[in-house]
Structure 1
Amino acid sequence: MKRRDAGIDQGRRAFLINGALVVGFAMVPGAGRAFADTEVDTLGTQVLAPDLPGSLRTNPFLDAWIRIDEQNVITVYTGKVELGTGVKTALLQVAAERLEVEPHLIVFMTADTALTPNEGYTAGSHTMFDSGTALFNAAAQVRQLLLESAARQWRTPVEQLGTQDAVIQCPDGKSMTYAQALAGVELHRYASAQSPIMAPERFTRIGQSLPRIDIPAKVSGGASYVQDMRLPGMLHARVIRPPRRGCQLEGIDQAAIENMPGHVTLVRNGSYLAVVAEDEWQAIKAMRSGYELARWSQGDPLPDAANIHQLLTQLPAKRYPIRNTVASSPGPADSSAHSWKATLTKQYLMHGSIGPSCSVAWFNEGTLTVWTHTQGVYPLRAGIAELLGLPLEKVRCVHVEGSGCYGHNGADDAAADAALIAMAVPGKPVRVQWMREQEHLWEPYSSAMRVELDVTADAAGHLGRWNTELWTTPHNERIVNAGRLLPAWLLAQPVAPAPSIPIAQPEGDGDRNVIPLYDVANSRINMTFVTQMPFRTSAMRSLGAHVNVFGIESAMDELAAQAGIDPVEFRLRNISDPRARSVIEQVAKAFGWPARAGGPGSGIGFAFARYKNIMGYCAIAVQVHVQRQTGEVVIDRVVTAVDVGQVVSPDGLRNQVEGGIIQSASWTLYEQVDYDPAGVRSYDWSGYPILRFPALPLDVEVHVLDQPGQPFLGAAEIVQGPMAAALGNALSNATGKRLLSLPLARSGWHRSL
């Protein structure tokens, strides 16, 4: 892929994996108690200070975020985790900017229930939006408190003081370190609603592309992921899963497994099975024997894949009204001069993490420590404590990056596996590594969906009616109780999952981005939330936005064609948000819209969305050509413009946008879970095709509309919906056929051309 784009000293910075000394501190009085009748944020964390910005609302104490020791070492904490998106570097830049120190002077700590604030999950493009905003304000307030302390000690106006590299300087030549100034400051205090102002033109770290701090070990073969962890005396474990959900263990020859060469232990609890050995290959061989020797009952039946979207309309469900608006005055008589009705569908998708899930757990002297690539260490800790019957303070979860994520994959379940097995072999660390087929068969999938659209426009090209009915299974089966952890279903005393509840608007669940940002006076939008489903489904990047934006932007193209209006002009005619208009206009200009792709089978497409209608803006144009005999799709060119507010790391932002383009192209063209009543067939990569290197876009051009001084809006998920929609529109332009069933390249449409 041709990329077109319009040093940190590691110093004392270290990644704590297995420290001998752990100092824990409470973030709030009574932390760990259940709170009733209190507000929670969108990621499920209790709100203590609703007037504070970002995650200061849930973690208002300044020393939850920043600490300075007697040697003037600054430690900055975040409850968010690095998932390969570069946020660890971006958050470090924010803290360094407002503390006015060089990044290498900061020790940066990510999610650890013994050390860091509880920020719920790292999900939904909330990291910069929540944690970045909290650090931006907390760091500025800490620096100001230190300046005021020095001013009092020197009896000097605070306005005359400056700082450089964690040292406060006075015009007369006096200086003191931040640590010395801290003597007169109490950081265990609530943050203020207002922070010292820093003009964006003064930023020297925000807005710069610092080298990512997580990259060196990854490119040099160093220990980078939880899969790489090795602790002294560590045992290796493998789980033995049932053939499918609902199976009960009827019997297994335990002696045959435990008498295998080497030290092998079979862990059994009801229908839960695992093997533990001193050597990893021993564990794998014991697992294989376990699969051969275990006898299971029949499990839950699976549906026929060909009927899944009709089945969604028949399963037990609850209907949620999302929007019902009527114009205050009736529209013109010809308001429905143009209309389009269609049903769009999306198949089940899997995360397809390159590295199967893994976790290390150690139950030692009454305390369980779990190293995990979870997206939320605090919710996971609560789930594991409930699962094992341990006090909350006796469970510690430490995030270690995993090789693959993009949502709620098998990370939490692997951590629960490790915790259960570690309790059976106390005093020894245990590493649990899933196998590829276990990852593909047992991770939570992204939901299949059905979307029915009924939209109109008047003769002048202004939108009239916009009605949507959608059917979906849950996109948010996060860990709110032990029953949301896969191993809990298999125990002798199983734990039932908590009831499924959709995420409310404007965040949304399957209905994320179902409301158009366009100017629509009359709309009726409903979501049918299917609660009893054939597959376990949960969060995958962008949730329902992927198919909802695909549907909205397909409708915009269809109405534009009926009205005889250029698709970009039609969008501009129906949107008033100035930042939305800016990204649309930027892409049109850079792409040379409405240039026509040349040659048979060539086409161009355009799309726009604002993620969740409250976060980052993205417009995108795509040029493709199609081999009609084979259906092969070549993505010749992609041009996109994004507005995510104040940009912290331009290179990191471009990386996220480019990665999202590739991921969305893979979903939109190729990906679906294959299954039939006999079982899931996508148990390895041959059964779950993804975008290969030869199919990457040939040219990608990213335009960043920086907004200095504006809030951070997040970038990781803004492009998935628009890319799917632009690709769909380009294929329809190329073939003359509106394609409505995802994935597009596997639907056999080319055979009808």
Structure 2
Amino acid sequence: MTIRGDRGFSRRSFLKGSGLVVSFALLPGVAFAQDKTDGPKGPPFGDMKSTPYLDSWIGIDESGKVTIFSGKAELGQGIMTALMQCAAEQLAVTPDQVRMEMASTASTPDEGYTAGSNSMAGSGTAILNAAAQMRTILIGWAADDLGVDKTTLHAENGVVKGDGGKSRAYGDIVKGRSLHVEADGTSDLIPPDRYKVMGKNHPRLDIPAKLTGAPIYVQDMRPDGMLHARVVRPPSYTSTLQSVDTAAVSKMPGVVKVVHEGDYLAVVAKGEYQAIVALRALQEAAKWQTPKALPKESTIYDMLKSMKTDDSVIDKRGDGTLPEGRPVVSATYRRPYMMHGAIGPSCAVAEFTNGKLTVWTHSQGVFPLRKTLADMLSMPLDAIDCIQVEGSGCYGHNGADDVAADAAIIARAMPDKPIRVQWMREDEHGWEPYGSPMIAEAKGTLDDDGRISGWNYELWSMTFSTRPGGSANNLMPAWYLPKKFGPPKGGQIPLPGGGGDRNAIPTYDLANTHVLYHYIDGPMPIRISALRSLGGYLNTFAVESFMDEMALAAKTDPVAFRLKHVKDPRARDVIEMAAGKFGWKKAEKLPPYRGRGFAYVRYETVKAYCALAVEIEVDPVSGQIRVRRAVAAIDSGNAVNPNGIQNQIEGCIIQATSWSLHERVAFTETEIMSRDWSSYPILRFDGVPDSVEVHVIDRPGAPFLGTGEAGMGPTPAAIANALYDATGLRMRDLPFHAEAVRTAMLGPDAKTKA
């Protein structure tokens, strides 16, 4: 079965059908020398810095078909389409001449994780420039073949053309030639005024299969001879297996094997339902000891402030103190533990044959995963291949890597058979890494002109990074193997990306600031890692809520107040566009319990500019908030596929609305309680905003800034600001679920006022 469908084909199959003399250079350290063209060289672009040979990124066969190799993963964010457009534009071919091969340790460059809105800046920049350089090389080779000056030739639709009808197709040009050419910094990029593919809306390559139900997801894989496996999870992280009688389960219909290694317990069966039935029986047979190792949910914020911290001042302008004698505005903002809540539970397929392990996974980092599996299994790195196949959609470190570890463990115990491990809903909810709880405290003062004269901000957060990257401690299944790997410690991510401190530094022109980060550097009682936008969600919520609170103290319109503190013309453009398209200045007085709110961010302080205006309605009886209308403006530099950018910000607004109105992880001192959709509710179809508009400001030729997470932080802030406008209530604790809003509106005895 071909799981990739029309996405592309493997480097191995490409080689079989190619007449090129090629030596692929995925590891620069072992690449052989290649003659370079004359002239000065600059550094390679984007992710080419670590993989600087053009044939690592581009293949061309004798038919002229182009294959683009990217180490980034398609997660449903549309990156595959945008990368294809970059390649097609700069290679001067049509989109249908390009095939994409994404994120495989066997065939693509190592581009680390697909995370942090970095795909276009890294892979997009690399492919853009690799394609431009390849086009120049093809034109030069064609000139040699035709015996003409290369300046008389140009490339068009995969053919190099010249005067008098002379031409050479790409497929003919590459015959007998090697594309193993080292990249440099001299790309002859096609200028924006000649774009035919970039900057134009292009249908997403991944959508047709999803709409028709074609087998595009790893969950759809059904290779010949495949067996199904399920894993018995303990009640809690620190549980230990006291005893288990596997004899009865081993004799159940369809059961092939019970895998029992230390505290790790799984069952393998011929059919999926047989595996589920056996799983339930094995769960009953297993006896666990579970200590009280989790905090009380009601004390998580006290816990954050009581834990050991590594403190650092991450922003200081002026003397960093609040001017004396000025009224001080202060507020505290908090977010709980939150989960990814992937609609489809995580899944992986693995096969162990002749000492070689192949894993099909929806991991966002196949190369880091491979290193971590090698550590867990004590296997050589070159004996493992990890191939990314789309999952059901996730932004951040969810269960994808862990289920890959499950599949690898079981496949090693059951060699020569493909093993499919599908997590159950309770596995996904209960065992994925969550986003850290956070606290932010803000204080500010105004001068006589209504400008901010002092800004103090403190935040508390645990790590946002325990992704696999080498140590098996980062794979949860490894914790229960006979060779005990402990839970990971995690670590900080340096700014400007940052972790918990992402977007804690306000991107306003302020003369006097002091931002202090209390990073909690210690054992984590509940498993946490990267969740979409990391600390940027809470920090932008806090900063932009506080900007409204300062605007109120200044008796100034919130949008005008922001513009008063912004000089960057691109920032002003998105603020003014979002406000203008929303009709902020022209808005009529809204009916009772209706309100409007605004928020702005420059994501990670160096990436996309995003502004958002919303109109909400609050049910005065239930306290339920409904977002009626959302209007956003986004500037992420050169807009390769404007509709794809719109898709991303629409998705941000919808997902962040769900987070902001519903989501928090519930737990006791012994176990996670949010195991299903009733105990962890998310936004339903009837709660989606009635109208969402996203206006893209295109900057042709400008650097890619990254889009995918830019809308997450402004959404809760805009909703909170709109809630204040609608009701006079300032909600500072996420989420704003109906009962919390109702209690705030009606008081502690709200239940008696129905």
- Same topology, TM > 0.5: yes
Tell me by how many angstroms 1:704 deviates: 1.2
Q: Can you list the C-alpha shifts for 1:125-176, whole angstroms capped at 9, x where unaligned? A: 1111111111110000000011011112323221211222222112122222
Q: Can you list the C-alpha shifts for 1:52-107, whole angstroms capped at 9, x where unaligned? A: 32111222111110112233332111000110011111111110000000111122
Q: Provide the residue aligned with 1:248 in structure 2.
A: 240
Q: 604, 613, 617: which is aligned to 1:621?
A: 613
How far apart are the structure 2 equivalents of 1:713 and 1:50?
Answer: 22
- Residue correspondence of structure 1 range 156-555 to structure 2 within 5 A: 156-182=148-174, 186-326=178-318, 337-480=326-469, 481-530=471-520, 531-555=522-546
How far apart are the structure 1 equivalents of 2:357 and 2:236?
Answer: 30
Q: Where in structure 1 are there 5+ consecutive unaligned residues?
A: 1-10, 33-48
**C-alpha root-mean-square deviation of aligned residues, in Å?**
2.2
**Contact 1:13–1:106 (Cα < 8 Å) also in 2:** no
- Residue correspondence of structure 1 range 698-737 to structure 2 within 5 A: 698-737=690-729
Tell me by how many angstroms 1:521 deviates: 2.0
More deviation, 11-20/454-463: 11-20
- Residue correspondence of structure 1 range 39-58 to structure 2 within 5 A: 51-58=43-50
Q: Provide the residue aligned with 2:571 in structure 1.
A: 580
Q: Provide the residue aligned with 2:37 in structure 1.
A: none
Q: Provide the residue aligned with 1:35 in structure 2.
A: none
Q: 558, 578, 582: which is aligned to 2:549?
A: 558
**Which residue identity does 1:613 align to in structure 2?**
T
How far apart are the structure 1 equivalents of 2:169 and 2:176?
Answer: 12
More deviation, 576-585/318-327: 318-327
**Contact 1:339–1:559 (Cα < 8 Å) also in 2:** no
Q: Provide the residue aligned with 1:92 in structure 2.
A: 84
Q: Provide the residue aligned with 2:36 in structure 1.
A: none
How far apart are the structure 2 equivalents of 1:413 and 1:320?
Answer: 33
Q: Can you list the C-alpha shifts for 1:234-254, whole angstroms capped at 9, x where unaligned? A: 111000010000111111001
SS of the equivalent of 1:546 reads helix
SS of the equivalent of 1:133 reads helix
Tell me by how many angstroms 1:51 deviates: 3.1
How far apart are the structure 2 equivalents of 1:681 and 1:464?
Answer: 45
- Residue correspondence of structure 1 range 43-192 to structure 2 within 5 A: 51-182=43-174, 186-192=178-184
Would the alpha carbon gap of residues 563 and 379 (structure 1) be closer, same or farther in structure 2, given more than 3 Å must change? same
Tell me by how many angstroms 1:300 deviates: 4.8
**Which residue identity does 1:707 align to in structure 2?**
R
SS of the equivalent of 1:536 reads coil
Counting aligned pairs with the same residue, the percent is 46
More deviation, 645-654/160-169: 160-169
Would the alpha carbon gap of residues 740 and 14 (structure 1) be closer, same or farther in structure 2, given more than 3 Å must change? closer
**Contact 1:327–1:521 (Cα < 8 Å) also in 2:** no
How far apart are the structure 2 equivalents of 1:307 and 1:450?
Answer: 13
Tell me by how many angstroms 1:404 deviates: 2.2
Tell me by how many angstroms 1:321 deviates: 2.8
Q: Can you list the C-alpha shifts for 1:682-731, whole angstroms capped at 9, x where unaligned? A: 10000011111111111222211111111111211110101111111001
**Which residue identity does 1:629 align to in structure 2?**
V
**Which residue identity does 1:734 align to in structure 2?**
A
**Contact 1:517–1:609 (Cα < 8 Å) also in 2:** yes
How far apart are the structure 2 equivalents of 1:525 and 1:12?
Answer: 49
**Contact 2:46–2:124 (Cα < 8 Å) also in 1:** yes
**Contact 2:42–2:186 (Cα < 8 Å) also in 1:** no
Tell me by how many angstroms 1:320 deviates: 3.0
Q: Provide the residue aligned with 1:653 in structure 2.
A: 645
How far apart are the structure 1 equivalents of 2:126 and 2:335?
Answer: 37
Tell me by how many angstroms 1:678 deviates: 4.2
Q: 581, 584, 596: which is aligned to 1:593?
A: 584
Q: Can you list the C-alpha shifts for 1:331-386, whole angstroms capped at 9, x where unaligned? A: 9x78x745311111101111000100000000112210000000011000110011
Tell me by how many angstroms 1:14 deviates: 4.6
Q: TM-score when scaled to structure 1?
A: 0.93
Tell me by how many angstroms 1:747 deviates: 5.7
How far apart are the structure 1 equivalents of 2:42 and 2:231?
Answer: 44
SS of the equivalent of 2:132 reads helix
Would the alpha carbon gap of residues 62 and 154 (structure 1) be closer, same or farther in structure 2, given more than 3 Å must change? same
Would the alpha carbon gap of residues 534 and 427 (structure 1) be closer, same or farther in structure 2, given more than 3 Å must change? same
**Which residue identity does 1:539 align to in structure 2?**
A
Q: Can you list the C-alpha shifts for 1:280-301, whole angstroms capped at 9, x where unaligned? A: 1111111111110001112452
Residue 697, structure 1, aligned to residue 689, structure 2: yes
Q: Can you list the C-alpha shifts for 1:293-322, whole angstroms capped at 9, x where unaligned? A: 001112452221111011111123322332
**Contact 1:554–1:725 (Cα < 8 Å) also in 2:** yes
**Contact 1:264–1:286 (Cα < 8 Å) also in 2:** no
Q: Where in structure 2 are there 5+ consecutive unaligned residues?
A: 17-22, 32-40, 746-754
**Contact 1:257–1:264 (Cα < 8 Å) also in 2:** no
More deviation, 596-605/413-422: 596-605
SS of the equivalent of 1:630 reads coil
SS of the equivalent of 1:109 reads strand
How far apart are the structure 2 equivalents of 1:639 and 1:227?
Answer: 35
**Contact 1:445–1:537 (Cα < 8 Å) also in 2:** yes
SS of the equivalent of 2:551 reads helix
Q: Provide the residue aligned with 1:688 in structure 2.
A: 680
How far apart are the structure 1 equivalents of 2:606 and 2:476?
Answer: 33
How far apart are the structure 1 equivalents of 2:316 and 2:69?
Answer: 43
Would the alpha carbon gap of residues 355 and 13 (structure 1) be closer, same or farther in structure 2, given more than 3 Å must change? closer
SS of the equivalent of 1:108 reads strand
Q: TM-score when scaled to structure 2?
A: 0.93
Tell me by how many angstroms 1:18 deviates: 12
Tell me by how many angstroms 1:17 deviates: 8.2
SS of the equivalent of 1:192 reads coil
More deviation, 412-421/151-160: 151-160
SS of the equivalent of 1:516 reads coil
**Which residue identity does 2:27 align to in structure 1?**
V
Would the alpha carbon gap of residues 17 and 194 (structure 1) be closer, same or farther in structure 2, given more than 3 Å must change? closer
Would the alpha carbon gap of residues 430 and 16 (structure 1) be closer, same or farther in structure 2, given more than 3 Å must change? farther
**Contact 2:90–2:189 (Cα < 8 Å) also in 1:** no
**Contact 1:545–1:721 (Cα < 8 Å) also in 2:** yes
How far apart are the structure 2 equivalents of 1:19 and 1:432?
Answer: 26
SS of the equivalent of 2:678 reads helix
